[in-house]
Structure 1
Amino acid sequence: MSSARTSLGRTVAAHAVLIAYTVIALFPVFVILINSLKTRKAIFGDPLALPLGKSFDLVGYQTVMKQGDFVLYFQNSMTVTVASLFFVLLFGAMAAFALSEYRFRGNTLMGLYLALGIMIPIRLGTVAILEMMVASGLVNTLTALILVYTAQGLPLSVFILSEFMKSVSNDLKNAGRIDGLSEYAIFFRLVLPLVRPAMATVAVFTMIPIWNDLWFPLILASAEQTKTVTLGAQVFIGQFQNDWNALLAALSLAIVPVLVLYLIFSRQLIRGITVGAVK
């Protein structure tokens, strides 16, 4: 009984800490949202006040809708983010399964090699990546961004998922082999459902840098038809003056898909973070 109460207390504490961190993290989002609905004078006069009365103004959203094709920018960002997440989770889970399930000479070195991407930023290879994309004819295509972001997210995915897959029962996998299941069936039908919390955690930590990235869209996909929403918002930033109303409105709209994806993965994310608290 005491151990059950201790586990319950740890779970409640972990959830409380996560909720507190969520509130703190969402406060800047709240500030951006309320300021996107205010006049320029109200933004700088009282940035924490609610958009009520004369301070309320939708000029920022009106400017966003008139200047630039932000619907296309959102479609590009969503396509790149979802496709990259799919490939990161698929290939990362397959590599993690191979490293955790099969023992071979160089297994540890292979794991360290795959984890090097966590310590070495992919931006250091920007020049080489650009040359490769030019040679492949992929400049100003969404495919170029998907390939880069997939390579960027794989190291973290392999590092996290391999540790979770090591905890999957060997008896369960051996029972599947005895029943005649192939290795692919064991991977997709037995292992993946058990590591969904870890995959949701990887998805959350991977999608934010992809959605908010400006570097690679500016270098690899700066054409009008391939702009992402982050790159498209730069049109409101000038050398001498910024259109803060439109910029905050664009950022507010850009936050919505991220929040939706976060809510989709949130339940599994909480399970992935608190899994060690109930042991």
Structure 2
Amino acid sequence: MRPSMTYRTIQHLIGYAFAVLSLYPVFLMIASSFKTTIAIFTHPLALPEKISFVAYDKLLDQMPFGHYLWNSVLVSGASVALILISSAFAAYYISRTHYKWNSALLFIFLLGMMIPIKLGIVPLFLLMKNLGLSNTLWSLILIYTAIGIPLGIMIMAGFFKTLPKELEEAGRIDGCNDMQILSRIVIPLMRPAIGTVMIINFVTAWNDFFFPLIFIQDEVMKTIQVGMMSLFGEYESDWSTLFAGLTLASLPMVLMFVFASRQFMDGMTAGAVK
């Protein structure tokens, strides 16, 4: 066997080993959702002897899980949509116009990535209260949008600069204005950057626990991360129902990554090979 083949085989074996280590906790979570709480404690690493959907029935009957799921989908989806639209316009202006303040403007946006937004939780809470947005999903949507725009602009501005300007010049010759060039020519070529920004910000908004805990008080307005806390009791916890909720809560992220994984990988590796 040639050395190159041996080296490649070792690389594949190491990759498969890391894949198994990464996926095993997910598999264990799904398997535990079909067990009873007693079976989880007695045989935590074993497969379920009998598949039971009791945990899922309890999850859907004893708590407003549907409201939690819809709130999380609405908050994450609306935040990602606003981030993509705002970042695309701002990044296009910064990368395609030649003004002396463009670098300073980009630096100001990037400052949003350097300053921890949680340090301003008190002013943010007072601001949302004065605007009448406290205890509403709009408070979360606006906060996640503000958090995600700096990273979105940084990624998209870098992609815009790699696109040849001749494509835009050809569009202008055909009579397209700036909006048509952006929507019909540039944006379709930006799918890797769009996929990267979309996945990163969707996961950030979906998994966040801190801001929903602070800004949302009504039970039916809570997101999944906060709503699932009701399954933790003072003296005991319903672990099978908790694992069932975690399994259902992970499905939207898995589906998003499946549909946008190609664009995400292209966006992460763009510019690495010339």
TM over 0.5: yes
- Out of 215, 221, 225, the position equivalent to 1:226 is 221
Q: 2: distance between equivalents of 1:18 and 1:182?
A: 48
- Out of 177, 186, 209, the position equivalent to 1:214 is 209
What is the correspondence of 1:181-196 to structure 2 with a 5 Å cutoff?
181-196=176-191
Q: 1: distance between equivalents of 2:132 and 2:23?
A: 40
Q: 1: distance between equivalents of 2:258 and 2:124?
A: 33
Amino acid at match of 1:205: I
Amino acid at match of 1:42: A
Q: 1: distance between equivalents of 2:117 and 2:93?
A: 24
* CA deviation vs aligned residue, 1:200-239 (integer Å, no higher than 9, x gap): 0111111111111111111112212211111110101123
Q: 2: distance between equivalents of 1:190 and 1:17?
A: 42
Q: 2: distance between equivalents of 1:266 and 1:134?
A: 38
**Residue 19 of structure 1: CA displacement?**
8.4
Q: Assess, with a 3 A threshold, how the Cα gap between structure 1 residues 22 and 267 changes in structure 2: closer, same or farther.
A: farther
* CA deviation vs aligned residue, 1:82-118 (integer Å, no higher than 9, x gap): 1111111110111111111112122111111111222
**Residue 18 of structure 1: CA displacement?**
9.0
Structure 1 vs Structure 2: percent identity of aligned residues?
41
Aligned to 2:103, the other structure's residue is in SS state helix
Question: Who is 1:154 aligned against?
Answer: 149
Q: 2: distance between equivalents of 1:16 and 1:205?
A: 28
Q: 2: distance between equivalents of 1:277 and 1:49?
A: 43
Amino acid at match of 1:232: G
**Residue 191 of structure 1: CA displacement?**
0.9
Question: Who is 1:4 aligned against?
Answer: none
**Residue 133 of structure 1: CA displacement?**
0.8
What is the correspondence of 1:232-243 to structure 2 with a 5 Å cutoff?
232-243=227-238
Whether 1:36 aligns to 2:33 is yes
Amino acid at match of 1:194: L
- TM-score when scaled to structure 1? 0.87
- Out of 246, 249, 253, the position equivalent to 1:251 is 246
Q: Assess, with a 3 A threshold, how the Cα gap between structure 1 residues 125 and 65 changes in structure 2: closer, same or farther.
A: same
Aligned to 2:270, the other structure's residue is in SS state helix
Q: Assess, with a 3 A threshold, how the Cα gap between structure 1 residues 51 and 206 changes in structure 2: closer, same or farther.
A: same
Q: 2: distance between equivalents of 1:105 and 1:20?
A: 51
Amino acid at match of 1:265: A
Structure 1 spans left out of the alignment, 5+ residues: 1-14
**Residue 21 of structure 1: CA displacement?**
6.6
* CA deviation vs aligned residue, 1:1-55 (integer Å, no higher than 9, x gap): xxxxxxxxxxxxxx999988766543322221111111223323333322124xx
Question: Who is 1:11 aligned against?
Answer: none
The count of aligned residue pairs is 264
Greater alpha carbon shift after TM alignment, 112-121 vs 190-199: 112-121
Question: Who is 1:179 aligned against?
Answer: 174
Aligned to 1:52, the other structure's residue is in SS state coil
* CA deviation vs aligned residue, 1:46-96 (integer Å, no higher than 9, x gap): 33322124xx44332222112221111111111111111111111011111
Question: Who is 2:24 aligned against?
Answer: 27
- TM-score when scaled to structure 2? 0.89
Q: Assess, with a 3 A threshold, how the Cα gap between structure 1 residues 179 and 23 changes in structure 2: closer, same or farther.
A: farther
Amino acid at match of 2:173: I
Q: 2: distance between equivalents of 1:204 and 1:222?
A: 28
**Residue 270 of structure 1: CA displacement?**
2.5
Q: Assess, with a 3 A threshold, how the Cα gap between structure 1 residues 25 and 191 changes in structure 2: closer, same or farther.
A: farther
- Out of 56, 69, 74, the position equivalent to 1:74 is 69
Question: Who is 1:3 aligned against?
Answer: none
